[in-house]
C-alpha cells in the first residue's frame, strides 16, 4: 500500500484517491486496507472518489465491538468527510456494515455492493474460533478462505496469526463475529430500496453461493454476478473481473441518478 497516502484526521485513518462520485470500500473482520489495493487506483482513474477507512476492529471498547458500533463509526466517517449519496462496497463483514448502514441511513446511500457478505449466514474459520499458537493451523484456515491460493500470502497469514495470538484482539474479533451471527438481516432486507450489486465467488466456502442467491431474492433492486474459480474475496482473487463488473454497474447507477 506504499503507493497510497494514509490520511490521519481526528480519529480516522483512511485512504483517499481520485475525484467524482464517492465510493467507500469496507474491509472484512480479518481484513485491512490492502484488501482493495487493486480497486483503489482503478476506480480513482475511472472518475470516482475512492474512500477507504480503517475500521476500528481493535480500538473500540470490548462492549462496543459489534456490527452496529462499526456502522455508527462509518456514519461518523461519512459526516466527517461531508459525503452524500455514497456507494458502499463491502467484503464479508464490510458488506454487513454496508447493509446495516443502508437500513439506518437510507437517504445518504445511493447503492451497496456485496462481496462474500455476512448478514445472513457465514461459516467462521472452521466453525469455531481458531486456536492460538499453531501457525500451520492458522495458515491452513486462511488458505481455505480462497480458491486462488496465492492470495493467502505469508504476510496475510502472519497478520491473522498475530491477531489470533493477541488476547484482546482475539476477544474483540470474537465479539464482532458473534454480533454478526446474532444480527441476521433476513427481515430487514426486503425494505432496502438502494440499488445493490452482488459479486460472489462460486467456490466461496465462508458465505456459500446459496447466501448470494438469498441476498438476490430478498433485495428488491439487486443484480447478482458470479465469478468462477473464486472463493470469499473476489476483489483479491480476480481483481480485473471484479473491477469490470463493478465499473459497469456503477456507470449504469450514476446514469440513472
Range of the domain at 113: 6-256
Q: Which of 58, 85, 56 lies closest to 72 in space, CA to CA?
A: 56
Whether 1 maps to a domain, the answer reads no
Q: How many domains does the chain have?
A: 1
In-domain check, residue 43: yes
The tens digit of pLDDT for each residue in 51-78 reads 999 999 999 999 999 999 999 999 999 9
pLDDT tens-digit readout, 133-183: 688 888 988 999 999 999 999 999 998 888 888 889 989 988 998 998 888
- CATH code for position 148: 3.40.50.1820
Mean pLDDT, all residues of the chain: 91
213 domain-assigned: yes
Query: Is it the case that residue 196 has pLDDT exceeding 60?
Result: yes
pTM for the full predicted model:
0.93
Tell whether 132 is covered by a domain.
yes
**Does residue 127 carry a pLDDT above 90?**
no
Amino acid at each position: 500500500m506504499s503507493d497510497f497516502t494514509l490520511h490521519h484526521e481526528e480519529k480516522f485513518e483512511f485512504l483517499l484517491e481520485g475525484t467524482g462520485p464517492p465510493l467507500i470500500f469496507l474491509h472484512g473482520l480479518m481484513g485491512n486496507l490492502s484488501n482493495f489495493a487493486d480497486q483503489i487506483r482503478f476506480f480513482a482513474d475511472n472518475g470516482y472518489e475512492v474512500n477507504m477507512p480503517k475500521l476500528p476492529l481493535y480500538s473500540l471498547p470490548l462492549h462496543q465491538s459489534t456490527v452496529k458500533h462499526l456502522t455508527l463509526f462509518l456514519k461518523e466517517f461519512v459526516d466527517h468527510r461531508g459525503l452524500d449519496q455514497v456507494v458502499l462496497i463491502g467484503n464479508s463483514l464490510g458488506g454487513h456494515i454496508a447493509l446495516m448502514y443502508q437500513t439506518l441511513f437510507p437517504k445518504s446511500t445511493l447503492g451497496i455492493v456485496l462481496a462474500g457478505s455476512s448478514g445472513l449466514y457465514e461459516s467462521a474459520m472452521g466453525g469455531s474460533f481458531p486456536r492460538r499458537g499453531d501457525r500451520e493451523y492458522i495458515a491452513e484456515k486462511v488458505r481455505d478462505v480462497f480458491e486462488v491460493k496465492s492470495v493467502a500470502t505469508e504476510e496475510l497469514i502472519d497478520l491473522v496469526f498475530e491477531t489470533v495470538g493477541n488476547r484482546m484482539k482475539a476477544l474483540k474479533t470474537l465479539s464482532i463475529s458473534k454480533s454478526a451471527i446474532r444480527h441476521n438481516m433476513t427481515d430487514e432486507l426486503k425494505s432496502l430500496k438502494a440499488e445493490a450489486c452482488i459479486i460472489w465467488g462460486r467456490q466461496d466456502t465462508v458465505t456459500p453461493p446459496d447466501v448470494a442467491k438469498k441476498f438476490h431474492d430478498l433485495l428488491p433492486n439487486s443484480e447478482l454476478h458470479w465469478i468462477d474459480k473464486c472463493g470469499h474475496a473476489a476483489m483479491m482473487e480476480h481483481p480485473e473481473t471484479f473491477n469490470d463488473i463493478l465499473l459497469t454497474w456503477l456507470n449504469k447507477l450514476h446514469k440513472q441518478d
